[in-house]
Structure 1
């Protein structure tokens, strides 16, 4: 079977099954194992001198391990390949987590804060309703790229090894790719490689969000994407803001300190409700369907 046919099946399985609790309460999820590997490397090698060099070697090790693991699993046949790919995709779980924020916000402000705290790293204690909805939508847009489109894209390009390598590098970036005193040097290679691997998928995600909404403001999306501190995450966020006609980003608190981030689509509506989260979820499924269509094209060419 072609890569297109395999990832098409994996996308459908993930959309139907999601993350079955009965399975992952009994077995460690591959993403958890990846996190443990990255954590072990961080503990063992992120100390002493030459931390950037050590980080480069550890990143190369992650790429090697991911490629080898992907090849070994791929050799077990297409059924195993599809199942592993489905496990490493996150469309249904993403939608479920975002929907929980909308439902929580409908119940009460504290419940909305509790639900959004599960998916964002910013301070949620004093969030108002619009801030909760905005945080959920931003997280949804970014994770559509990181958790669905990018891993599926790399499967199309390089099969299961490509997907596993991407997930390992992306996990490393989420754990050590920060410009903090501890990780600025050690996590440098992982962060830069993650930037490279997401260069095309992030922009593809923006297209998949914008086109179904008949949003053709390429100049505006590109301009706002550049405001983001990440070279890639701003693209799906900027597209989502225009698809929904709302303003995203803006000031928020981290570790008790307010950060004055610029608004994305600053002229958009800033008073948000759970209905905006519902509309975002519709956009997530439309983008997913668009990518499914692209995969189908790969099957027949």
Structure 2
């Protein structure tokens, strides 16, 4: 398969996952009002897809206990889509009642991590996915699958590409509108991105592909650019680079929205998102969480520097 030139990729959509993945691993639990404000600022920056909440058991992820309240307060605008993460039918019922625009279902590619993350095996998670996807389609709500630990597992080691491909087929067969490949623990490298992109496209050629990278080993941005060079046009990122998985040892944050924007914009790729607004939001969020912002753009500034 011939790789597209960078210049041929004119637009990339960022999915802002800070309100969900960015907050779920933090010790500080933001107020409902602050979560809504984070989403409002993201939308004001130009982001049009936001993973706003997850509908999971509050004892397992207390940071997401107010999902319904957050969804009740988000700004509803034409062209803005709010994603709710669900793991089971109960979560889907909550998400539909809260009027999410999309549902995203996580299926972990390895059994050990899946049991720790969701309390079930990968096969059981796939059965739940089939049920959720059918019910979501019946309700007229798009459903996507995120294949977690697609690049490696903290408990089982390397994830076989064939396993990721099989999960992608199951996603396709159940009517997924999008498949997201997640480097949940940040072990992937660009060569893996290229291989998985090509293999998943062969298995599910009609289903759009998205990537979700963590920067645990400082490869997240290189991986994102590799995906773009393969023609992928949808990437997850988290304002400030906050985030991580509470069930993965030593997990660190997602790639930062503002740092990714810098690379994409310097490559001539349009995102429709204001870097300066995201930087300001990251500073605000760091203050609310009481910790330094992991992202670098807010420290170094843009280049060339804006005119005085």
User: Which structure has greater helix proportion?
Assistant: 1
User: Which structure has greater strand proportion?
Assistant: 2
User: Is TM more than 0.5 here?
Assistant: no
TM class by shorter chain equals: under 0.3
TM-score, normalisation: structure 1: 0.24
TM-score, normalisation: structure 2: 0.23
